[in-house]
Amino acid sequence: MFSPAKEKTFRCNLPGKFKKQFELKKDKQRVLDIVTVGDYVEFNLNDVNTGTIFSVKPRTNYISRKAPRIKGASTRGERLEQIICANVENLVVVASITLPKFNNRQLDRFIVCGETAGVNTIIVMNKSDLDKNREILYWEKLYKSIGYEVITTSTVSGYGIDKLKMHIFGKKSLFWGVSGVGKSSLLNSMYPELDFKTKEISNWSSKGKHTTVTSFMEKVGGNTFIIDSPGVREIEPFGIRKHDLSHYFVEFKDYLNECKFNTCTHYHEPGCAVVEAVENDLISVERYESYLNLLDTIEDDIIF
């Protein structure tokens, strides 16, 4: 637990009474993280290095995803919420153009997580030095056109590093992405004193290996804080109903009120203004396909 007043870290425990507040029937918890990185808490000191939390302050926001499915779960709704961090201003989604190959559908899922949390999302296109065919230019143009800040970076050449540091200066930012995109190397390039651990991409699968095993926050100067989180293999936003998903695709918003039916899911209904916008190249096909892919995975019976 980081104490801003003294700029010292204390290892704190959580009393059992907190856990009881989050229990559902059959002793299942609603969320996996009662206290998370970025929370503001009050605690009593047990000794010079440890303490016990007695109060968790209300959050201004938090970023979460569906937790991996519980082994042996028999129904679709047995998915818990995994809270990644709280009280942040920026979600920095790190993607790579190759090794692992850029996947816009994965990126869009991270973006939806940021939109549901109401935080500013910055997209980082890393490993630009490996982009021999300049594929990055297409995706950079697409996401900039719908209003997102896109920063192209390379830890080899140093390109974009200072620009990224400028965008997160004085704020608390979560760095998040799939395994292997170079998140730890990127943070090392920005703040060498932190010395994050890195690993190479798996030769047999071309997928990233996990290096960060738990989320943690570091102060890197002034009021600038970064939260590094473990890379993930899959990402599913938590707590979205099918009829709400379109609100988290920002370019859809101009057309939502023009649909024939106010319950339109923008998939098969007649008179859908979103589909018409896609057909008229006002919404990109790639983003619309991401929307449909995510729509198909939403579980209406999920635990809230």
Q: Please give the pLDDT value at position 74.
A: 46
The stretch 96-104 carries a mean pLDDT of 93
Which has more pLDDT, 1 or 254?
Answer: 254
Residue 147: name the closest of 178, 190, 114, 169 by CA: 114
The stretch 248-276 carries a mean pLDDT of 95
Residue 206 confidence (pLDDT) above 90: no
The stretch 231-239 carries a mean pLDDT of 87
Which has more pLDDT, 292 or 234?
Answer: 292
Domains of the chain: 2-81 (no CATH), 85-228 (3.40.50.300), 245-297 (1.10.40.50)
Confidence of residue 224 (pLDDT cuts 50, 70, 90): very high
Q: Please give the pLDDT value at position 292.
A: 97
In angstroms, the CA 32 to CA 80 distance is 7
The stretch 280-290 carries a mean pLDDT of 98
Confidence of residue 196 (pLDDT cuts 50, 70, 90): low
Confidence of residue 143 (pLDDT cuts 50, 70, 90): very high
Burial of 1 (0-12, 13-18, 19+ CB in 10 A): middle
Average pLDDT, the chain: 85
Helix, strand, coil percentages (3-state) for the chain, rounded to 5, are 30, 20, 50
Beta pairing partners, 23: 29
The stretch 280-304 carries a mean pLDDT of 86
Confidence of residue 47 (pLDDT cuts 50, 70, 90): confident
First-to-last C-alpha distance (Å) of the chain: 28
Q: Please give the pLDDT value at position 6.
A: 56
Residue 25 confidence (pLDDT) above 50: no
Residue 259 confidence (pLDDT) above 90: yes
Evaluate whether 181 touches 208 at the Cβ level (below 8 Å). Answer: yes
Residue 115 confidence (pLDDT) above 70: yes
The stretch 163-177 carries a mean pLDDT of 96
pTM of the entire structure?
0.87
Confidence of residue 49 (pLDDT cuts 50, 70, 90): confident
